[in-house]
């Protein structure tokens, strides 16, 4: 446990949150088959309502990198290390040229590919900030893109959503992993932990 000079609030050295809303008791160890690479906008790193920290601490095979624009060589290494095939989890964008973006590669046939050969890339940020990160990091633009459909209603009620089917980073990642791993790994305990996380954060929200 450490304390921050400005606020003197005790900070958990594991989850880097104030001890009063530490999420370590909610960590749910899961050995995911598809590796997760989380690219987190700096503003999200200090947001108490962000779910990527709980996701990263719970998934054994995950990396979390914080930044808005990454060094090109670093990003290429994170994406293609160990000859894994990266897939970007991101909603559909129709006007690529108008936004100055490169169209993504077609999603490959994944039947002959084992989950251990895949790396799922997650951009963790608001819709506006995630799109800016996509624009600034060109290597992400051409990655084959995975989009979610027919997902359960979100339980993430502590941040404003722009649409009814908008999910948190943790929820979207769990549902994507379930599809890619053909439901061979159980993510229900982690989604349950997220429900407790939402309740915990709600307790600190002014009525």
pLDDT digits (tens, 9 = 90+) for 99-125: 667 778 877 777 778 999 999 999 999
pLDDT for position 93: 74
- In the chain, the percentage of residues whose pLDDT exceeds 70 is 87
pLDDT average, residue stretch 38-53: 94
The string of pLDDT tens digits covering residues 50-101 is 999 999 999 999 999 999 999 999 999 999 999 999 999 998 776 665 566 7
**Separation of CA 140 from chain center:** 14
pLDDT-derived band at 158 (thresholds 50, 70, 90) equals: low
- The closest alpha carbon to 161, from 120, 203, 186, 198, belongs to 198
Answer whether 0.85 is exceeded by the pTM: yes
pLDDT, the chain, mean? 88
Cα–Cα distance measured from residue 82 to residue 44, given in angstroms and rounded to the nearest whole number: 28
Picking from 51-65, 76-90, 159-173, 185-199, which range would have the lowest pLDDT averaged per residue?
159-173
In Å, how far are 40, 121, 154, 172 from 169, measured between CA atoms? 10, 11, 11, 5
Rounded-to-integer distance, Cα 161 and Cα 54, Å = 20
CA 123 → CA 4, 64, 83, 133, 189, distances in Å?
A: 28, 10, 21, 8, 23
More confident: 117 or 5: 117
Residue 11 predicted with pLDDT over 60: yes
| pLDDT for the residue 4 | 47
CB atoms within 10 A of CB 94: 6
Residue 27: per-residue pLDDT: 97
Contacts of 207 (CB under 8 A, 6+ apart): none
- Looking at residue 2, its pLDDT comes to 54
Q: Is the pLDDT of residue 174 over 90?
A: yes
Instruction: Pick the range with the lowest mean pLDDT from 29-43, 70-84, 103-117, 181-195.
Output: 103-117
Question: Within 13 Å, how many C-alpha atoms sit on residue 175's CB side?
Answer: 19
Q: What is the CA radius of gyration of the chain?
A: 17
Rounded alpha-carbon distances, angstroms, from residue 64 to 35, 48, 59:
11, 16, 11
Q: Does residue 157 contact residue 85 with C-beta atoms inside 8 Å?
A: no
Question: Taking a C-beta distance cutoff of 8 angstroms, is the pair 20, 7 a contact?
Answer: no
Distance CA 92, CA 121 (A): 15
């Amino acid at each position: 446990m450490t304390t921050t000079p400005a606020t003197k609030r005790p900070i958990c050295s594991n989850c880097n949150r104030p001890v009063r809303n530490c999420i370590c008791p909610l960590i749910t160890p899961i050995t995911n088959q598809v590796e997760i690479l989380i690219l987190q906008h700096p503003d999200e790193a200090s947001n108490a309502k962000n779910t990527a920290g709980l996701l990263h601490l719970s998934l054994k095979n995950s990396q979390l990198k914080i930044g808005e624009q990454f060094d090109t060589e670093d990003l290429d290494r994170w994406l293609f290390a160990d000859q894994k095939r990266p897939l970007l989890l991101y909603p559909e964008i129709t006007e690529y040229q108008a936004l100055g973006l490169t169209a993504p590669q077609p999603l490959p046939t994944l039947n002959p590919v084992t989950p251990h050969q895949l790396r799922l890339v997650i951009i963790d940020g608001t819709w506006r900030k995630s799109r800016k990160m996509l624009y600034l990091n060109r290597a992400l633009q051409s990655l084959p893109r995975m989009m979610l459909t027919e997902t359960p209603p979100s339980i993430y009620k502590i941040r404003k959503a722009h649409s009814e089917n908008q999910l948190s980073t943790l929820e979207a990642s769990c549902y994507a992993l379930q599809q890619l791993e053909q439901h061979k790994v159980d993510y229900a305990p982690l989604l349950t932990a997220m429900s407790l996380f939402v309740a915990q954060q709600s307790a600190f929200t002014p009525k």
